[in-house]
Amino acid sequence: MKIFLIGFMGSGKTHWGKIWADKHELPFFDLDEIIEKKEHRSVLDIFEKNGEDYFRFQESVALRTMDTPDNCIIACGGGAACYADNIDWMNEHGLTVYLHASPNVLLDNIMKEKEKRPLVKHVNEAELLFFIQQKLEDRKPYYEKAKIRMRVEDLSEESFKKIV
Ligand code: S3P
């Protein structure tokens, strides 16, 4: 079974995905990384030079065409579930897990790596909290389509057992 980890930036999709994959000897993939390899440049560069629409197109193509084994964990970028029917496609092709976090938890985590993230690179902390609250509301209907929802505060190495 392919496990798709979805949720907002800073919810720990890559962090937990790697830990769970290591512990259970499963291959791990990061959708952003797949796009970066294909494009030979960073997500930041793609956004800056070609814009978000271009990135979203590449993201939905990468999701549908990536060469991944039947059993694996795939961390998806924060917006991946919210465009081009991607969440429906994920639900048809694997198990979707939404890592749910409050705006304040997300703010703390995003602040640590803000420079790498094109959508928030240029905003200050107060603007960022507002941005998170707004975007989270917009994205909620998509995230909520996930088959499993987990609170990030409760996650541990053992959580993966609950998922499977
Ligand atoms: C995005 C999240 C990022 C990356 C891109 C856009 C988003 O992934 O795909 O910067 O729209 O929320 P992470 O959630 O891994 O930071």
Q: 148-158, pLDDT tens digit by residue?
A: 999 999 999 99
**163 confidence band (pLDDT: 50, 70, 90):** confident
Distance from residue 32's CA to the centre of ligand 1 (Å): 8
- Secondary structure E strands in 7-80: 28-30, 72-75
Look at residue 39 in the predicted model and tell me its pLDDT.
Answer: 97
Q: Is 77 in the pocket of ligand 1 (CB under 6 A)?
A: yes
Whether the Cβ atoms of residue 81 and residue 57 lie closer than 8 Å to each other: no
Whether the Cβ atoms of residue 82 and residue 9 lie closer than 8 Å to each other: no
Across 91-107, average pLDDT: 97
Q: Is 33 in the pocket of ligand 1 (CB under 6 A)?
A: no
Index of the ligand 1 atom closest to the CA of residue 118: 10
At 47-78, the pLDDT tens digits run 999 999 999 999 999 999 999 999 999 999 99
Q: Is 79 in the pocket of ligand 1 (CB under 6 A)?
A: yes
User: What global pTM score does this model have?
Assistant: 0.96
Look at residue 116 in the predicted model and tell me its pLDDT.
Answer: 86
Whether pLDDT at 164 is above 90: no
Look at residue 114 in the predicted model and tell me its pLDDT.
Answer: 85
At 135-145, the pLDDT tens digits run 999 999 999 99
> Exposure pattern of 88-111 as b/e (b: 16+ CB <10 Å)?
eebbeebbbbbbbbebebbbebbe
Whether pLDDT at 113 is above 90: no
**CA-nearest residue, atom 3 of ligand 1:** 77
Which position has the higher pLDDT, 13 or 113? 13
